């Protein structure tokens, strides 16, 4: 059972890594900043959902990272330190896909990618080695 669970978590992280790679690849293209932020948000969301699976905490269908962090905090109080920054990513889950959404600056996109990577690093530090990158 544990091996199956670890494999499921690993699959979440493989998907998250693809999103991070897209975000990093286009980070220096100012016209792509909204897409960069979308993929950074998606990566963080997938990492959080993987962690919630690991913690055996059910979660609703949501893109609100701060809500996912609140749920994870039921078993990991330290994760709350990521809540404030995670809220900066949540608007990109849906809004960035629509033309009325304002394209962020390159600096803002860079910050969003760093927050996403911080969330990923934190969660990986709490898991057994399920994913190496």
Alpha-carbon separation of residue 5 from 56, 113, 121 (angstroms): 10, 28, 20
State the total domains in the chain. 1
The tens digit of pLDDT for each residue in 28-54 reads 998 899 999 999 999 999 999 999 999
pTM across the whole model = 0.91
CA distance 34 to 47: 20
The answer to whether residue 133 is domain-embedded is no
Average pLDDT of the chain to the nearest whole number: 91
The answer to whether residue 112 is domain-embedded is yes
The answer to whether residue 131 is domain-embedded is no
- Containing domain of residue 10, as a range? 2-126
The tens digit of pLDDT for each residue in 60-91 reads 998 999 999 999 999 999 999 999 999 999 98
CA distance 10 to 16: 10
Q: What is the CATH number of the domain that holds 105?
A: 1.20.120.330
CB count, 10 Å around CB of 108? 14
The answer to whether residue 132 is domain-embedded is no
């Amino acid at each position: 059972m544990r091996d199956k669970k670890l494999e499921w978590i690993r699959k979440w992280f493989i998907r998250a890594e693809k999103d991070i790679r897209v975000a990093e690849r286009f980070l220096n293209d100012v016209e792509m900043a909204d897409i960069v932020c979308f993929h950074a948000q998606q990566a963080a969301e997938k990492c959080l959902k993987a962690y919630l699976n690991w913690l055996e905490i059910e979660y609703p269908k949501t893109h609100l990272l701060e809500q996912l962090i609140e749920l994870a905090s039921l078993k990991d109080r330290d994760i709350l330190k990521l809540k404030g920054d995670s809220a900066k990513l949540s608007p990109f889950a849906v809004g960035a896909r629509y033309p009325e959404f304002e394209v962020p600056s390159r600096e803002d996109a860079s910050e969003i990618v760093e927050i996403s990577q911080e969330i990923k690093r934190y969660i990986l530090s709490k898991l057994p080695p399920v994913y190496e990158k």
